[in-house]
Amino acid sequence: MNKIESRKDEHVQIALEKNVTSIHNYWDDVELPHNALPELNMYNIDISTKLFNKTLEAPIVIAAMTGGYDLAKEINERLGYAASNFQIAMGVGSQRAALENTQLRETYSVIKDFDIPIRIANIGASQIVLWGYKKSLRCIEDIISMIDAHALAICLNFLQEVVQPEGEPHAEGCFQQIQQLADAIDIPVIIKESGAGISYDVALRLSKTNIAGIDVGGKGGTSFAAIEHHRAKKHSDYLHARCSETFWNWGISTPQSIINAGKATNWKIPLIATGGIRHGLDVAKALSMGSRCAGIARVLLQHSTKSKQATVQEIETIIKEIRTSMFLMGINSIEKMKEVSYGFRKRDEGIQ
C-alpha cells in the first residue's frame, strides 16, 4: 500500500474503533413539537424530495467516506447497493488516490454498477489549490467520469489538513478556484465542509458563485481532529497528537451552520446537513431547520463494514424514524417540514 492508501485505511479503522466524535452532539439541542392530533395516516407520508432536479425517495445522502484501498471497494459496494435500494444519494471519499494510482479506480467506480439517483464525486479543496485551475479541471473531469457522477463535492477540510502529519494546509486562492471551477463544470458543484461547519460570511461569499449546494459539514459528529489525534499517537508523533487534541472540538455546530448558511443564502441554495446525524429523528430536525437533506457518514460506515444486510437494515430504520417524526408532528411531506416550529437551544458557540 502506498501512503495515501494506508492513510485512508487508518482513518476508517480509527473511526470504527476509537472515540472520534465531538464532545457534544448539537442535535440534542434541537427539539421538535409533538402533535397529539396528527390527523394523518403514517403510510401516506411522502418523504421523497428533489435535489439538483433528481428525485430522492428519502432525504438522505450517504456522506463521502472512502475509496482507494481494498476494503474500501467492499464498503462502497455495500453502500452503493443500499443507496440504489432506497434511491438516496451517495458520495465517495476523496478520489485523489485513484488519480495517483489507476489500479485503485475500481474501489470508487464500483458504485457505477448501481442505479443511484445522485452519485457525488469528491476532491479536497487544498488539492485544487495545489493543482491550479487547468490541472484541477482535468483531474475533476477524470473523477467525474470515474463514478459517472451527477454532482461534484469540493471538500473544505482545512482543520484536518492542518493537524494531519502529511497535511497540505494550502488555502490561498481557494475561493477563486471554487468560483472558476463552479463556472466551468457542467454538473452541480457542492461545497462541503467536513466537520468544522460554515459561518455566515463564508456562506455569503459562496452564494455569489455558481455552486449548486452547500454541505455544511458541521461540528457535533465525527471530528477529523480526533481521528488525526489517534493516528498521530499511534505513530508517536507528539506535535500532531497534541495539536489535534487541542482542536478536537473546533468548529461551528451543524444546526448553527444550517442557520448561518440558510440566512446568508436566503435559503436559495440547497443545504445538506452532515455532521452528527445518528438516526431519523436527527434527519427530521435537520429538515425542520431548513436543510434539503441530511448526510450520514460514520453511522453507516459502522454498518457497511459488517454486511450489505446490516447497511440496508440501518437505512430502513432511519427511514422509519423519519416517518415516525413526521407522523408525530402531523406533517405529511418533506416540503412542509420547513414550516415546523422547532426549538433550538443555542449553546455558547462564540462568533459565527
Ligand X SMILES: Cc1cc2nc3c(=O)[nH]c(=O)nc-3n(C[C@H](O)[C@H](O)[C@H](O)COP(=O)(O)O)c2cc1C
Binding residues for ligand X (CB under 6 A):
11-12, 15, 63-66, 93-94, 122, 153, 155, 192, 194-195, 217, 221-222, 274-277, 296-299, 301
C-beta of 262 vs 295, nearer to ligand X: 295
C-beta of 224 vs 327, nearer to ligand X: 224
C-beta of 122 vs 256, nearer to ligand X: 122
d(CA 31, CA 309): 32
| Cα distance between the two ends of the chain | 41
C-beta of 25 vs 332, nearer to ligand X: 25
C-beta of 285 vs 327, nearer to ligand X: 285
Provide the minimum distance between the beta carbon of 351 and ligand X in the complex, in angstroms, as a whole number: 23
Residue 130 dihedral angles phi and psi, to the nearest 5°: -65, -40
C-beta of 94 vs 126, nearer to ligand X: 94
State the DSSP code for 253. B
Q: Are strands 49-51 and 343-344 parallel, antiparallel or unpaired?
A: unpaired
Nearest to residue 278, comparing CAs of 251, 309, 256, 302?
Answer: 302
HSE-CB for 121 with a 13 A CA cutoff: 28
Residue 293 dihedral angles phi and psi, to the nearest 5°: -145, 165
Provide the minimum distance between the beta carbon of 253 and ligand X in the complex, in angstroms, as a whole number: 11
d(CA 338, CA 190): 21
Q: Tell me the residue number closest to ligand X, measured at CB.
A: 221
Provide the minimum distance between the beta carbon of 334 and ligand X in the complex, in angstroms, as a whole number: 20
Provide the minimum distance between the beta carbon of 305 and ligand X in the complex, in angstroms, as a whole number: 10
Provide the minimum distance between the beta carbon of 277 and ligand X in the complex, in angstroms, as a whole number: 5
C-beta of 45 vs 286, nearer to ligand X: 286
Provide the minimum distance between the beta carbon of 330 and ligand X in the complex, in angstroms, as a whole number: 28
Distances in Å between the Cα of 178 and the Cα atoms of 2, 152, 154, 167, 262 are: 29, 12, 8, 20, 20
Contact between 64 and 272 under an 8 Å Cβ cutoff? The reply is no
Contact between 60 and 7 under an 8 Å Cβ cutoff? The reply is no
Provide the minimum distance between the beta carbon of 332 and ligand X in the complex, in angstroms, as a whole number: 27
Provide the minimum distance between the beta carbon of 80 and ligand X in the complex, in angstroms, as a whole number: 16
Residue 216 dihedral angles phi and psi, to the nearest 5°: -70, -20
Distances in Å between the Cα of 155 and the Cα atoms of 92, 193, 275 are: 11, 6, 14
Show the cell assigned to 253: 455546530
C-beta of 22 vs 288, nearer to ligand X: 22
State the DSSP code for 156. E
For the chain, the helix, strand and coil percentages under 3-state DSSP, each to the nearest 5: 50, 15, 35
Contact between 53 and 46 under an 8 Å Cβ cutoff? The reply is no
C-beta of 94 vs 244, nearer to ligand X: 94
Provide the minimum distance between the beta carbon of 91 and ligand X in the complex, in angstroms, as a whole number: 7
